[in-house]
Structures are given as structure tokens and as C-alpha cells.
């Protein structure tokens, strides 16, 4: 026969157990860096977890580790567009714009209809003040991608920035 005391005791144990799990989860998932590091530890071949860990490392200022992790991730899945995208942007953050351009351009060769790769490469080019290259790339990509509206918006932004930079240069 189950008494009220037994049910109450079982309920308290259950609540404590859930509380311990919650405290443990809070500890484990206290930051994106810890969360994604744990995810990669549990599943070392999980490409998405590796990309997210590299992004968290980048946000923590650990650029070299982020570059190394994304490079390693790209070795695991050399044709995966998201790995190419992440590696290219991490290279730019590390200050290696030429290699970022090479990686992202290769990604576009592999995935000629991929909106994020066109967007990322145009951003890297524009950040390097190669506005003409970014504009040409976006114009080439607009008819090929599944979301031309995004590239059209980026094209307008790059053209406006180019106009402002040239106006400022004329004033100097």
C-alpha cells in the first residue's frame, strides 16, 4: 500500500533529481562556447556543432583556434557550403582576406546557386574596398540564386558605400 508519505517522498526525490539536472545543465550550457564545446565532445564529426563552436571561439577573440577548427571542419566535409562559408568568414576575421576570397570563390564554383556564399564574398570584397569586384559578383549571382532579393539589397548597399567612399576621396 502506497501512503501519502511515500508519494511525497518520491515527489521530492523527483524534484531534486530534476533540480540537479537543471543545475548541471546551467553549468554545462552557461555559454555558447561551453555548449558547443560539449556538443563537439559528444559528437566530434558533427559539422554544424563544429561550425558553431568556431563561431563562439571567434566571439571570444580566439581567432586562431576558430580558424584552425573551421579548417579542420572543411577537411571533414570539403564540399559542404556552410563549412566553406564559415571558414571564409573566419579567415577574413583573422585578417587573411586573400585566402578568404579564394575559399569563398571556390565555394561559389561548387555551389553556384548559393545566396549566402555570394553575400559573404561580396562583403569580403567590399570590406577590402574592391567595390567593383563586389558589384560584378552580385550582378552575376542575382540570376543564379534562390534568393535574388538578398543579393539585390546587398548590391544597393555596396553601390551606396562605393558612392560615399568616392565622394569622401574627392573631398580630400
- How far apart are the C-alpha atoms of 101 and 141, rounded to whole Å? 16
Contacts of 102-110 spanning 24+ positions with Cβ under 8 A = 103/74, 107/81, 108/141, 110/79, 110/81, 110/84
Tell me: the pLDDT tens digits for 106-136?
999 999 999 999 999 999 999 999 999 999 9
- How far apart are the C-alpha atoms of 103 and 135, rounded to whole Å? 19
Tell me: the pLDDT tens digits for 35-44?
888 877 888 8
Question: How many other β-carbons are positioned within 10 Å of the β-carbon of residue 128?
Answer: 15
Structural contact between residues 112 and 151, judged by C-beta atoms closer than 8 angstroms: no
Which of 119, 112, 121 is closest to 144 using CA atoms? 112
Does the predicted model carry a pTM greater than 0.85?
no
- How far apart are the C-alpha atoms of 134 and 137, rounded to whole Å? 5
| Cell triple for 117 | 556564399
Mean residue pLDDT of the chain comes to: 87
Percent of the chain beyond pLDDT 90?
Answer: 66
The domains of the chain, with CATH numbers, are 30-95 (1.25.40.10), 112-172 (no CATH)
Q: What is the mean pLDDT of residues 57-83?
A: 93
| Cell triple for 21 | 539536472
Strand (E) or helix (H) holding 93: helix 81-93
Amino acid at each position: 500500500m502506497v501512503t501519502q508519505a511515500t508519494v511525497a517522498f518520491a515527489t521530492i526525490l523527483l524534484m531534486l533529481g530534476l533540480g540537479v539536472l537543471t543545475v548541471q545543465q546551467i553549468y554545462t550550457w552557461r555559454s555558447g562556447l561551453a555548449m558547443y564545446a560539449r556538443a563537439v565532445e559528444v559528437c566530434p564529426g558533427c559539422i554544424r556543432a563544429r561550425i558553431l563552436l568556431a563561431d563562439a571561439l571567434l566571439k571570444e577573440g580566439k581567432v586562431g583556434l576558430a580558424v584552425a577548427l573551421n579548417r579542420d571542419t572543411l577537411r571533414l566535409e570539403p564540399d559542404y557550403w556552410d563549412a566553406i562559408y564559415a571558414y571564409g568568414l573566419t579567415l577574413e576575421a583573422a585578417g587573411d582576406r586573400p585566402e578568404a576570397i579564394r575559399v569563398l570563390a571556390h565555394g561559389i564554383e561548387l555551389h553556384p546557386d548559393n545566396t549566402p556564399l555570394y553575400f559573404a564574398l561580396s562583403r569580403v570584397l567590399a570590406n577590402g574596398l574592391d567595390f567593383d569586384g563586389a558589384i560584378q559578383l552580385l550582378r552575376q549571382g542575382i540570376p543564379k540564386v534562390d534568393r535574388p532579393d538578398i543579393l539585390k539589397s546587398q548590391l544597393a548597399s555596396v553601390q551606396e558605400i562605393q558612392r560615399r567612399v568616392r565622394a569622401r576621396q574627392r573631398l580630400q
